[in-house]
Amino acid sequence: MDYQETLKYLYERVPMFQRVGGAAYKEGLDNTLTLDAHFGHPHHSFRTIHVAGTNGKGSVSHTLAAILQSAGYKTGLYTSPHLVDFRERIRINGTPISKEYVVDFVELERSFFEPLCPSFFELATAMAFKYFADEQVDVAVIEVGLGGRLDCTNIITPDLSIITNISFDHVQFLGNTLAKIAGEKAGIIKKGIPVVIGETTPETKPVFMAKATEVGAPIYFAEENNREDYPGVEYELKGIYQEKNKRTLFTALPLLKEAGYHFDEENVREGFAHVVELTGLMGRWQKLHDHPTLVCDTGHNVGGITYVVEQLRQQSCHQLHIVIGMVNDKDISGVLALLPKEAIYYFTQASVNRALPAKQLLHLATEAGLKGKAYASVKNAVRAAMKKSLPEDFIFVGGSNFIVADLLASKVFLN
């Protein structure tokens, strides 16, 4: 098989949450532990940092990787989901895993893993850990896929755990209260391993404190950190929500030094200022076009969209245009209630099975007092928005990782 045939096999033979949702979710670590044993426990051969949370974990993971790269560490980075190409998930010093490695891994190991019927994420995690071991990385920043306690990344014993924040997402798996969701994400807190909590609520803070006490883990709350070790640091990621991620990172960095990592102020500033270039991060308040301004962001739940809407209100423009689509297992009415009524809307759907049909989204949005039209594809919706916009207008594209993925793949913003 070539690379495209291998991807087709993976997408069709192993259930992929990104495409089909809940049917791909497998509770428990049995498959993960079996795969890990088969490959000789590869995660034991490199240091790790574990990052969980509802929102912000991707930005925090990429920025940590950028700082460590700047300090000279050979740095693995495992994140999800991908936007354009599967290989975005597994990187070393910003370079994606090779197509050849992906093909060889599947061809050599399929006879072992097919009888296990692993999920896509279980298989991708095993591939990432083996790749990092084979390539002899110094450290890998590992982003949790879903939750924490039963996430297949949770077999690692990291030097530091980070939980960015808790808001409502994946409630069908993680629980329908913030305390229950926090309990699942607190599952990455381990005996003696320091943990940084980025944001708390009255419901979540006691959960984290209780878990840390139970396992004897030092716990640090970024909200209580008033230190400013790097005054005036320039952060390439411009979303206003990044200020909270920045404080989480500032709380984490001294703990990494205590764990034996070596980096200086120049490395930190370099990592913050060039995180996109160093790691290949996409879709975080990413500006793609001028006159009209076109920005995309992967915020996709009430917590993430709250910050997006706040930032949209700060834009100085003649007219705001919003291209939006969502997947069918999110709190759609909660998101729609947050969106600005004065914008012109272009309701659309991503090219995945989980996408809410554009006409259905239009119907729900109309009931919520929003005005616009439905478009069959992201490309058509963005093209319509650009055609109707004046140079001084602002176009926002988002609502789902998959909407941003289709936008970036289409390159319609280059026309």
Q: What is the DSSP code string of 257-285?
A: HHTT----HHHHHHHHHTHHHHH----SS
pLDDT band (50, 70, 90) for residue 322: very high
Q: What is the mean pLDDT of residues 258-262?
A: 98
At residue 218, the 3 state secondary structure works out as coil
d(CA 358, CA 238): 29
- Please, what CATH class does the domain formed by 286-414 belong to? alpha beta
pLDDT for residue 173? 57
pLDDT for residue 171? 54
What would the pLDDT profile of 167-200 be if each residue is shown by its tens digit? Answer: 765 555 565 789 998 999 999 999 999 999 999 9
What would the pLDDT profile of 25-57 be if each residue is shown by its tens digit? Answer: 556 799 999 999 999 999 999 999 999 998 899
pLDDT band (50, 70, 90) for residue 342: very high
Place domain 3-279 in its CATH homologous superfamily: Mur-like, catalytic domain (3.40.1190.10)
Closest residue by Cα to residue 283 from 409, 117, 139, 115: 409
Q: What is the mean pLDDT of residues 68-83?
A: 96
What would the pLDDT profile of 264-305 be if each residue is shown by its tens digit? Answer: 999 999 999 999 999 999 999 999 999 999 999 998 788 889
Least reliable range by pLDDT among 11-20, 116-125, 185-194, 326-335: 11-20
pLDDT band (50, 70, 90) for residue 413: confident
Show Cβ contacts of residue 391 under 8 Å, excluding neighbours closer than 6 positions.
291, 292
pLDDT for residue 27? 63
Neighbour-count burial of 68, counting CB atoms closer than 10 A to its CB (0-12 exposed, 13-18 middle, 19+ buried): buried
**If you ran DSSP here, which 8-state letter would residue 356 be given?**
P
Alpha-helical (H) ranges within 22-56 are 30-38
**CA 337, 246, 198, 32 torsion-angle sign:** positive
Closest residue by Cα to residue 184 from 161, 207, 202: 207
d(CA 287, CA 176): 34
Least reliable range by pLDDT among 10-14, 75-79, 348-352, 358-362: 10-14
Phi, psi of 143 (to 5 degrees): -90, 130
User: Tokens at residue 302, please?
Assistant: 């009430």
User: Tokens at residue 191, please?
Assistant: 């005996």
Closest residue by Cα to residue 372 from 318, 325, 409: 325
d(CA 398, CA 296): 6
pLDDT for residue 13? 82
What would the pLDDT profile of 141-160 be if each residue is shown by its tens digit? Answer: 999 998 888 899 999 999 99
d(CA 348, CA 345): 9
pLDDT band (50, 70, 90) for residue 19: very low
Closest residue by Cα to residue 185 from 141, 158, 142, 147: 147
User: Tokens at residue 24, please?
Assistant: 């791909």
d(CA 194, CA 142): 16
Chain region(s) in the chain for CATH 3.40.1190.10: 3-279
pLDDT band (50, 70, 90) for residue 20: very low
Q: CA triplet 142, 146, 148: central angle to 5 degrees?
A: 70
Chain region(s) in the chain for CATH 3.90.190.20: 286-414
pLDDT for residue 122? 93
Asked if residue 330 has pLDDT above 80, the reply is: no
Asked if residue 21 has pLDDT above 60, the reply is: no
